[in-house]
Structure 1
Amino acid sequence: MKQMTVENNSLVTEFVFMGLTDQPELQLPLFFVFLLNYTATVMGNLSLMILICLNAHLHTPMYFFLFNLSFVDFFYSFVCTPKMLMGFVSEKSVISYTGCMTQLFFFDFFVNSECYVLTAMAYDRYVAICKPLMYAILMSPRMCSLLMFGSYLMGFASAMAHTGCMIRLSFCDSNIINHYMCEIFPLLQLSCSSTYANELVSSLIACIIVIVSGFVILTSYASILLNIFHMSSAKGWSKAMGTCGSHIVTVTLFYGSGLLTYVKPASAESVDQGKFFSVFYTLMVPMLNPLIYSLRNKDVKLAARRTMMRIRSTVKKCVCSSL
């Protein structure tokens, strides 16, 4: 291990990722599996963002929030997946101390921002179904922009708090992280100084997310369900459920896998289990979100067809002009 004194009094200047598995025969198959996963995540989220930008009929609050969800998913998969893929094909996956803290900051920023983006989306669905006549006023472009600004601001504040507390810790002996990325709890296990403040901050941020995000989402859907039960028309009931179905699936996948990762105490066994649960919300959920919102959405399918027709028309014009 390379050692020297750095500004935060740590002797560790680099960390080594243990990765998902230490079995050599699994490294190459896992590399190809997660390479396909990452390719699908990048292509899916990028395609959805492009479709929303290019098609005027998708310039609505619902798709504005969906654009931001894809934006967050695209970048937070980018924060951890490339390094993870390199670990499968190299003898030792190493990251510098500065690189580790940078990865921790951006991962926390995007993950926490996603919590609040999903919250804004739940509020948008509540207004659309329960207060349709007030929708244009309550979900004005200014209000949508403020909701997204607040989401990113809360994500930034959480990331700053986590990273600031982590930087004050000392790492004196082991530098092997039992994970495939720089996560909070695996890093806390390596510290040779008190982690009380870090655990307190983590608990506080988790409480804020549960109180703010959880309360708004649950309240929104409780109101939506009550509204649906009072609908006399089966068509209206079906339309309301169709509008909310994709978001409910996304929230369940994201929060469900997140809870399985973080609700347990930071013991060696729970960190090892959390490493595998985290694969779901860091790698699977960002890949699934574009599919969830595209396969059941007529507007997105229409936008895809129109965009493909434009591309074909442009290609034909280019070919004809070259001839």
Structure 2
Amino acid sequence: MEKKRVKYKTDFGMKNTSALTGTIMVFLLFSILSDDFLTVYNISNVLKNCAVLLIASMGTTMAILLGSNDISVGSVMSLGGIITAMLIKGGADPALAAAAGLAAGLGAGLINGILIVYFQANFWVATFAMYSIAQGIALILSDGNGIAGFPGGFRFLGTGKVFGVYFIILLAAALLALMYVLLNKTRFGGYIYAIGESERIAGITGIPTGKVKLLVFTLSGLCAGTAGILLAAKTNVAMPSGGAGYEFDAIAAVIIGGTSLDGGKGSVLGTAVGVFLITVIRNGLTVMGLSSVFHYLVIGLIIMAVIVVDVLQIQLRENRKESDARECK
């Protein structure tokens, strides 16, 4: 199993380089097309927006590496933000309110995991159900209205600086490093890759597949809850639909970053590249005054291009193998 993972990382490095090259090209393009893009203020906004999406995408990365997916991310973000905001407005200590928001995200992920592992529910069905449930609870608790105006201590999470760098960016970077270590340097991370490659074989070798899947979806919910709280702190408002669309962007970032939807192949570093590309595209199009309708169109075209390139690369490798086999004969 270890040899397969090492071989895969080399292949993924090539994809990651392509995605990074594309990101740099898009960044330079917007810098040329708009004078408002390459400014300290705008780049700061890009990085802060990246931080929220990156944290949400970490859970999605684990789920997809597992050979599954989690489409409840956006709604769980909304729920975590609303619960935190309501408690703060009710006079609760911001730290305790944030803990409650995290608990909501963790609980939602745990329920997803229980449905998938113990009730054998399809992950699409289970997480779609949670998507609807979390969204409904957020709307009911907030009466469909946004909750705005938070104390400075809470807002620091999204707008405060440490040594001149926004805290939210530092937090996202720290969590990215932690996720990288978790996936690449721990037995748990190896289990995720092994299950993604073949759950049946992983089970035969003694890997506790059920426990791993349960923990992955629980962590995915926790990541979503964290992202929802940070989004509220950054914007100074918690909306019952504030996380809407983040599940799409998270999945898109993972795919663009080179992680296979079949599972077992990918990297959270690739996801980080995908997150930056998506955020730059959204920001660049907005700065140029284009409607958000174009955001989805462009991102969808990029995903389609990634899929086509991936298929062509696979076919090319297979043709080379067949050619080498003929030469050996």
TM bucket by the smaller chain?
0.3 to 0.5
Compare CA radii of gyration and give the structure with the larger one. 1
Give me the TM-score of the superposition, normalised by structure 2.
0.36
TM-score, normalised to structure 1, is: 0.36
Q: Which has the higher contact order (CA 8 A, sep 6+)?
A: 2
